[in-house]
Every structure is written in structure tokens, then in C-alpha cells.
Amino acid sequence: MLPQEAIRTKRDGGALDAAAIRELVAGISDGGLGDAQVGALAMAIYLQGMDAAETVALTEAVRDSGEVLDWAGLDLPGPVLDKHSTGGVGDLVSLVLGPWVAACGGHVPMISGRGLGHTGGTLDKLESIPGYSVSPDTATFRRLVRDVGVAIIGQTGELAPADKRLYAVRDITATVESLPLIVASILGKKLACGLDALVMDVKVGSGAFMPTEDASRELATTIAEVASQAGTPTTALLTDMSQPLAPCAGNALEVREALAVLSGERRDGRLLEVTRALAAEMLLAGGLAPDREAALAKLDARLASGAAAERFARMVAGLGGPADLLEAADRHLPAAPVLREVRAERAGYLRRMDTRALGLSVVELGGGRRAPGDAIDPAVGLADIAALGERVSAGQPLAMIHARSEHDAQRAEHRLREAIEIGEPPAEPPTLIRDVIRREAS
């Protein structure tokens, strides 16, 4: 089918068969389709949507547009597993989960991204570690996945190249918010990693990517169903992002928090609870535990023994970072020169947070990008953030701002005060894990 006829079919509300979709995606990947045609196709999909079969076909075509990793030649003793999050504030789950699952016998080739809008990026966090390379050669990546069990890196040019071009066009044609295109973008890259199973963390709340809980639930369900139909068993968790997941937001600050969890210094909190739940689902999906209770017991034992921390340290050293990061984090991780404590102006309960605004305050401090290519200040951010439902007295600390200048700190304090509502009566903290959606491969 000629590209323009396929675009016309979709524009007019018709369904495209798998062969037509493969031809279109091949044209996106190899340049056979011009930017105008790619933009027209994206707009047609945005306006008309895609049915389930079309979405599966689009996802598989994006997956197959480049290299699909094959781990068979490495004789791995355990399953190849991964997790993906729709992003949030203070969401450093990947830094803890990857080595934790590796310590339990999984192999985690985690292809991660950078910050987008108000959300932090795993690669930006890891690059706050001096020397850490997010772009190793293929041999190093495969060796670490085999020997350490985990490697967290950035997307290579060989994986799902169609997605890179399609996303760039979507970004400038106001077609980002299309469910089929979102699903194909997320899964095309993940499924190209040759996974035995995938776990998704789909956020809900004021800091979530999707605007409503219904939209987040639809995304989670669609991802689980499409991935399973494409051959990869997938579990999706709906988790709360009505407040930062960790009590901090900012790249080096979040690495410090990850080290605190891995070392056992931090033994509770929302971050640990969500990470533990996601990790348990990964062990179950990979056949590394017979049931949830056994999975949680195995995870707790590996964390307490220091095995998870040891995997993180080996990964960091294997990708060029300092070998003694666990023992000497303060020597290696950057620190901001200005600290400002923000105190409550009145007594009451923390009733609401605009989590997106808190994320944007980190961006304004320099911890994120206003435009592609902007340099990031890894030292800045927010720490010791109070939790929803907490009772505070007048003068009690709400957060600590880490800034490059007094001016930046003052601006961040203003945004933070506007983002937090203190009052009466008490507000119940939101449910952290809203639902679990499991789908087997078909």
C-alpha cells in the first residue's frame, strides 16, 4: 500500500493491517517517509485512534525496526527482566530495583531515559556519579548483565530507531498524547531488549504523566495487554504520585537516597514499599519465587545481607564510576553551596501537594532541562520533604532546598509554599499501590 493511501485510510477512520503498519514503520526508520508524511500519520492516529490489533502491530513494528537483543548465547542462569515507569518526582526506583532483582537471580538490561518536563530521569541521576557512562559499548553492557546481573544505560541507536524519529515528530506536531503512540513508544524500546517479562509502574496523582486516574488505568491496562500479545508477560502496577515518592528530588540527592535504601540505613518509606512491590512482581514473573510471600522474603534477605548494595557498587564501577561510592558517597557526589530550610508558617496537617510544581521547582533550580541540550546541575534539589497527612507545628521544617544561589533558593521556596496546602481537618494519605494488572503472554 502506498504510504499516502495508508495515511488516508487511517485519517478516514479505517483500520490498517499489520503489513501496512510494518511498511509505514520501515519508512519512518529508513527515511522512506518524509517528515510531512510522518506528521500526517501521527495526527491521523491521534485523531482516529487504533484498535487493539493495530496497536499490537505498531508496537511489534517499532520493536523490530532495529536490533532486538538476544541473550541466548550468554547462557544466563536466570531470566531477563525489566521495569519501566511513566515517571514522577523523587522516583528513583530503578536505582534500587535493578541491583535488588539482580541479587535475587534476575538479569536486568535496563534501558532508561532522561528527565522530561517535571519528571526526573534515571540517566541524569546516574550521571551525577563521577565517571558513570550511560553509553558503554555493547560488549561491556552484555558482560555486566551477565556477570553483575544489572546494567542501567541509555538507548542505543540500534534499538527501536523508528521510535526516536516518530517521537521527535510527535513532539512538534502536538500528537504526544495518543494512547497507541505512547504504548508503542514505551514498549517498542523495552521489548527490543529481549525480555522474559516486564513490570510497569504507572503513576496516578498530581505528579503523574497522565492527567487522570482513569487515563492512567487505561494506559496500564493497554500496556499489559499489548505487551502480552506481543509475547512478553507483563504486570502493571498503578502507584501513587500525589507527592514525591522519595523524601527528596534532585539527581545527586536521589542517588544518596538510593544508597541509604540499599545499605539498610533507610528501612521504611514509600520508595521502599513501591520498589519492594515491583521487585516481587518481577521475581514472580521470572519464576524466581513460587509465590508473593516467598518473593518478599527473598528480597528482604538479599537487601539485609548487603547483596543488593554490592550489585549496585559493581555496576557503578563497571560503567566507569568510583569503586568506593558506597563507602565514600560524600567524597564523590556533588553538593550544593546554598541550603535553605523551609518552615511551616502555621500549624496543621499537610492536606495536598502539587507534585508537578515541586518537580518544576527542581527544574528551575537547574536540576532539569528547560530545553533539549541544557546542562544539568546534579547537586541541586529538594530534601527532607514532609509527607501528606503529617501534622506540622508552626516553624517545623517542610523541606530543605539545595541551591546554587540565594536567589534560586528564594524562588524555589516561593514555589514550594504555593505547592503545599496546610490546614484542617486531617487528610488521609493516599493509597500507595492502587491496583495490580497481570497479563500472560499470548
Q: Which residues are catalytic?
A: 82-85, 122, 170, 185, 189-190
* DSSP category for residue 438: E
Q: Please give the grid coordinates belonging to residue 190.
A: 523495552
The torsion defined by the Cα of 169, 174, 176 and 180, in degrees rounded to 10, comes to -90
Which of helix, strand or coil describes residue 131?
coil
377-399 burial code (b ≥16 CB/10 A, e <16): bbbbbbbebbebeeebeeeeebb
Radius of gyration of the chain (CA): 22
- Is residue 349 within 8 Å of 386, Cβ to Cβ? no
Residue 311 to residue 262: CA distance in whole angstroms: 10
Burial class (CB in 10 A: 0-12, 13-18, 19+), 133: middle
Residue 355 to residue 359: CA distance in whole angstroms: 6
Residue 42 to residue 163: CA distance in whole angstroms: 12
Q: Which amino acid is at 387?
A: A
257-281 burial code (b ≥16 CB/10 A, e <16): bbbbbbbeebeebbbbebbbbbbbb
Residue 17 to residue 321: CA distance in whole angstroms: 47
Which of helix, strand or coil describes residue 133?
coil
Q: Please give the grid coordinates belonging to residue 349.
A: 496537617
CA nearest neighbour of 269 among 387, 435, 383, 356? 387
Q: Please give the grid coordinates belonging to residue 407.
A: 536567589
How many C-beta neighbours within 10 Å does residue 374 have? 11
Residue 286 to residue 3: CA distance in whole angstroms: 40
Pairing of strands 150-154, 420-423: unpaired
